Structure 1
Amino acid sequence: MKKIIVSLLVLAVCFALAAPILAEGQGEGGEVQYPKGALDFVAPSGAGGGWDLTIRTVAKVLKDTGLVKVPMPVRNNPGAGGAVHLASLQEKPKADNIITVYSPPLILTKLSGSTDLNYENVTPLANLIADYAVFVVKADSKYNSIMDVMNALKKDPKSVKIGGTSSAGSMDHIQFLIMAKAAGVKNLRQIDYVNFNDSGAAQVMGGHIDLFSTGLSEVRGLIESGDLKALAQTADHRVGEGVVAAIPTCMEAGIHETFVNWRGLFGPPEMPQYAVDFWVNTLNQMVKTEEWKQAKIKNGWDDYYMQGPEYLEFLKKVDQSYRGILDEIGMLAD
């Protein structure tokens, strides 16, 4: 009897050793069960900005459409134009649960010397939208058109104080200078620019700055309420609907230039391929849904979808473009 028991134990051990060892998160078929547990959606800015709105909208659409069934809480990790969060991502290489949103500052902050990190230090997943810059003033401002501002700057580059929520040399600053240069304003370096962490709209309404350079979706509600007056936006066409659609383009004012604020999703560096594949597939499905279409209309976003090698090539091209702009105004870091 003892021999039989010993034999059975030996067979059990042999079967256990012969069975495949499943990696954490894998099913019995060897496939990775992903996503597993709550995801960590991060806006690398304060609440209420364009990054915050974008990633919260993505989370809502993914939940409402059932494309992702695990919790997707959104948190804010602001600082240094997104560089604080970018640095924190370097401490979590190969993580599969962190999804974050970035736009031009991902490239501009390195070019201007604020950080040594850029798009090469994260995992690009997909670009989703094109938002555009808008230049707003308080409701009773003496400036009624973007050319009123540009003409004032031509006479005296110190006469108009510009503000934004990104640092000097980053997006809100650069998008205005691009338009000013195209309008014929000289001495761009002399234009006063003040950055605020997340209160630019309050600063312009309070008269502390004359013009707020920001993303169109970020001040849509204040434009609709009449608290802010929009002078121009930087697309090559009218966007959105209602009051937003009434905002003229800079091109209509005779400024032959545009600025696209692209926004996309990224994972940590060295994100596992199974997670990358999941998000490429899932986001490709999301952008085709009616819920996403309505979100774009509501926020005045244009479709600007790309992924994979196409997205990486796009990032390389805009890096070179921004490099030229910063060099021209003397803000390119050595």
Structure 2
Amino acid sequence: MRRRGFFALGLGMMACATGCGTESNLGSSAVNAARMLGRFAIVPGGGRWARVARALVEAARGEGFPVSGTPPATRITVTGLPALAATELNNGLSLLDTATPLARLTGQIEVVVVPANSKFATFDQFGAHLLAHPDRTPLTGGPQGEPDHLLFGLIAKGLGADTRQVDYTGFPGSAEATSALLGGKAAAATGTLADWRKAIDKGWVRVLAVSSARRVDGVEAPSLLECGVRLDFADWCAAVGPEGMTDDRKDFAIRLCDEVTESAAWRAACRVEGWTSIPLSGDDFEQWLASEIGRTRAVLRDLGMLDTADTTCWGSCEKGH
């Protein structure tokens, strides 16, 4: 399977309205496979992934894949990092246990921001303060245990700070986090570049670093890697199938994901929505997902959100800790 660029609640089944696709663009072998294996119903695993699922449906139809919203279609669910973290926090089984990994789809780059008048002129200054005083460097972003919180935990760990002392306040939305930061209740915040774009463009906040491996066009800030934090991070989403998919059906679903993420319609949707396309499929994606589960579990433990006793059961644990 293909390997692409690397980015480091149980699954809800909220159906999206889809109609039948066309097979006119598929080769004869794919048409025959579609007839034998049936159609796919692509659904979001929660409201936050509805737009990605809708874009996947539309691009799949454009490529001629059989997409339907009615039985007996095989369900492909779009889910992501927040669901993975929530499962860990609720001691649930991982995606590797409850679903068939198919492909990583998109990621949203995160930024570390401070108020325009912050005393931290650079990430190095902020990092030095966080390292020395993690309990006196108030941080904010999205809900606790979700990607923004995870990112600050990974940054603290990468700097060598005492992660359990990190002072983080989470909010349900970016508007509340923005108010907290600009109101002096936090020294720094994290969140997706899309969520912070307005505040950046208006000059309310400054970006100290971006979470991607490379700098981002149009953002005057270094990557965390440039700042000495060995971290490549995105709020990613992926496609998974039902547990126990047959090999033939799984292979056809992976082909769908591969061809769709190479399509012009998909690239256009990513540009419009501000997503970064980070395709990775099949065995490569499954291996990456296993490492991402391990990284997420570790940072949640470092932040004091998981009971360490629950992660030392070794081979006897059904979760595979």
TM-score relative to the length of structure 2: 0.68
> 163, 169, 182: which is aligned to 1:194?
169
Distance 1:230 1:30, change over 3 A: closer
Aligned residue in 2 for 1:19: none
> 92, 107, 122: which is aligned to 1:116?
92
How far 1:248 sits from its partner (Å)?
A: 1.8
Q: Distance in 2 between matches of 1:266 and 1:95?
A: 17
Q: Distance in 2 between matches of 1:98 and 1:166?
A: 29
Aligned residue in 2 for 1:178: 154
Written as runs of structure 1 = structure 2, the 5 A alignment for 1:1-334 is: 31-32=35-36, 34-35=38-39, 39=41, 41-46=43-48, 51-62=49-60, 65-67=62-64, 96=73, 98-111=75-88, 113-119=89-95, 120-168=97-145, 170-185=146-161, 187-197=162-172, 199-206=173-180, 207=183, 208-239=185-216, 241=217, 243-244=218-219, 246-270=220-244, 276-297=250-271, 301-333=275-307, 334=310
Quick check: 2:108–2:236 contact (8 Å CA) kept in 1? Answer: yes
Bigger CA radius of gyration: 1
Q: Distance in 1 between matches of 2:128 and 2:84?
A: 31
How far 1:264 sits from its partner (Å)?
A: 1.1
Distance 1:268 1:30, change over 3 A: closer
Q: What secondary structure is seen at the aligned counterpart in 2 of 1:282? A: helix
Distance 1:318 1:154, change over 3 A: closer
- For structure 2, the residue ranges without an aligned partner over 5 or more in a row are 1-30, 311-321
Quick check: 2:131–2:159 contact (8 Å CA) kept in 1? Answer: no
**Count of aligned residue pairs for this structure pair:** 274
- For structure 1, the residue ranges without an aligned partner over 5 or more in a row are 1-26, 73-93
Residue 254 of structure 2 aligns with an amino acid whose one-letter code is V
TM-score relative to the length of structure 1: 0.66
Q: Distance in 1 between matches of 2:122 and 2:149?
A: 19
Distance 1:192 1:329, change over 3 A: closer
Q: CA RMSD in A?
A: 3.7
Distance 1:313 1:181, change over 3 A: closer
Q: Distance in 1 between matches of 2:36 and 2:204?
A: 51
Distance 1:62 1:332, change over 3 A: same
Identity, % of aligned positions: 24
Q: What secondary structure is seen at the aligned counterpart in 1 of 2:280? A: strand
